[in-house]
């Protein structure tokens, strides 16, 4: 039986990588999936493919740094579906450089998308979830948000910050029937790793006790669990999904 039957789920950054895999997983679990991405054409293409496969899906052009744009998309979703059950704050970017070389622009861009973007999108849906007295918010952190990483001052700060949001909102919203959790993936084979040299990727493989990178579907299935009633007593956690990097 399906775990997310008729749940209305917004996924940001759903056009590629982990977000795309999550959209397909949620759809397979019976959810109505709303794919949001600044790469609007790619998001529309995924939504079309999902519908062709018999699922409920639609796409919206959305940049998580654009508060007015987010409000308009959320209003459109509410007008059509009258509820929002799940928000997956998945959109994220990297702009890597060592501390001594990181530009202010690199710093600001990553904080704007990965940290403030999560705030923007969650604030835009929270009134709806409060009125429903029900909802699930899932945030994309990272092992980098637990341990830090060479060359990722900005990204590490954003991902530690996302865990701070998660624990704060778990306290604020838990009593209102809304669960908030973060997922901390290890290194997963998506476009985000394309900028990394092969030597670094080999280092990631060695750092993980499963001796391999993760697949996007292996993160998507954890989002599906946390979004579902199977996780009905899970609130405020930052769940590491890294094949055992910390062991």
The catalytic residues are 155
Does the footprint of ligand NAD cover residue 187 (CB under 6 A)? Answer: yes
Report the site for ligand NAD in 111-150 (rule: CB under 6 A): 113, 117, 140, 142
DSSP code for 103: -
Other Cβ atoms less than 10 A from the Cβ of 60: the count is: 22
Of 2, 16, 215, 234, the residue at the interface with ligand NAD (CB under 6 A) is: 16
Q: Which of 213, 234, 211 shows the shortest CA–CA distance to 222?
A: 234
Of 3, 8, 19, 146, the residue at the interface with ligand NAD (CB under 6 A) is: 19
Shortest distance, position 244 Cβ to ligand NAD, whole Å: 15
Does the footprint of ligand NAD cover residue 37 (CB under 6 A)? Answer: yes
By the 8 A CB rule, do 5 and 23 touch? no
By the 8 A CB rule, do 199 and 114 touch? no
- For residue 57, what are the β-bridge partners? 33
Of 34, 59, 64, 73, the residue at the interface with ligand NAD (CB under 6 A) is: 64
Q: Is the dihedral of CA 13, 17, 18, 22 positive or negative?
A: positive
Does the footprint of ligand NAD cover residue 207 (CB under 6 A)? Answer: no
Residues that bind ligand NAD (CB under 6 A): 12-13, 15-19, 37-39, 62-65, 90-93, 113, 117, 140, 142, 185, 187-188, 190-193
């Amino acid at each position: 039986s399906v775990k997310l039957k008729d749940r209305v789920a917004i996924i940001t950054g759903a056009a590629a990588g982990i977000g795309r895999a999550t959209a397909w997983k949620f759809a397979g679990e019976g959810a109505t999936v709303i794919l949001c991405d600044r790469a609007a054409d790619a998001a529309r293409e995924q939504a079309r493919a999902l519908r062709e496969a018999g699922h409920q899906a639609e796409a919206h052009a959305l940049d998580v740094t654009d508060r007015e744009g987010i409000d308009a998309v959320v209003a459109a979703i509410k007008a059509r579906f009258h509820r929002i059950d799940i928000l997956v704050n998945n959109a994220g970017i990297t702009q890597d450089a060592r501390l001594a070389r990181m530009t202010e622009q690199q710093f600001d861009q990553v904080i704007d998308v990965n940290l403030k973007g999560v705030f923007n999108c969650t604030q835009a849906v929270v009134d709806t979830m409060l009125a429903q007295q029900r909802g699930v918010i899932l945030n994309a952190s990272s092992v980098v948000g637990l341990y830090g990483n060479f060359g990722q001052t900005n990204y590490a700060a954003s991902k530690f910050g996302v865990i701070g949001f998660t624990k704060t909102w778990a306290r604020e919203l838990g009593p209102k029937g809304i669960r908030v959790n973060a997922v901390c993936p290890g290194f997963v084979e998506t476009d985000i790793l394309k900028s990394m040299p092969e030597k670094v990727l080999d280092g990631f493989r060695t750092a993980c006790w499963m001796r391999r990178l993760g697949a996007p579907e292996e993160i998507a299935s954890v989002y599906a669990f946390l979004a579902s009633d199977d996780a009905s007593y899970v609130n405020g956690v930052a769940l590491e999904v890294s094949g055992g990097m910390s062991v």
